[in-house]
Each structure stands twice: as structure tokens, then as C-alpha cells.
Amino acid sequence: MSVRIENQTCFFITENGEEIRLCPDVTIITDEAKAMSAVDLNGQRIYITEAEADALTVAGAVDGRRHLKATSSDSVI
């Protein structure tokens, strides 16, 4: 897990160590190219699971995710 949450404080494991943010200062986004949730910290994109994204929103993070639609005709969606 790349995210740890304690008392509305988020700890993200990055390439450069650990980034610490207050959860209300974090915005969760959708990376359309990868169809994944992520947060941007200091210009670095951290990809997170949907469970992590949900936990962050419960802790006060801003949910900026968007639902994506498949565009290919062979999609089961």
C-alpha cells in the first residue's frame, strides 16, 4: 500500500521517501490514459488503488475522480 492515513494526515510512499499531507489538502484525480486513480505531489504522480482513494475521501481528501467510459465496440461495459 502506497498510502497510510493517521488522524486525517496522509503519508505517501514515493521514489524520494515519504510525503506527508493533511488529507483535506489532497485531491484525488483520474489518470485517463491509465484509467487509474492518482494524486499529484510536488509534480510526481502517485497511483493509488480505489480502496486507497475511498479511504482518502473518508479522511477528508477531495474526490476529483471521473468515471470513464469505454469507447471500443468490443468492450463489455
- Quick: pLDDT tens for 36-61: 899 998 888 999 999 999 999 999 99
Query: pLDDT value at position 72?
Result: 60
Query: pLDDT value at position 17?
Result: 87
Please check whether the domain covering 3-63 is classified as CATH 3.40.1170.40.
Answer: yes
- Hey, what's the cell of 38? 492518482
Q: Give the helix ranges, DSSP H, for 1-77.
A: 50-58
Domain boundaries, the chain: 3-63
Contact 41, 29 (CB under 8 A): no
Using only the alpha carbons of the chain, give its radius of gyration.
14
In angstroms, rounded to a whole number, what is the distance separating the alpha carbons of residues 38 and 52?
Answer: 10
Question: What are the residues whose beta carbons fall under 8 Å from the beta carbon of 55, sequence distance 6 or more?
Answer: 3, 5
User: What is the percentage of the chain residues whose pLDDT exceeds 70?
Assistant: 84
Mean pLDDT of the region 21-44: 91
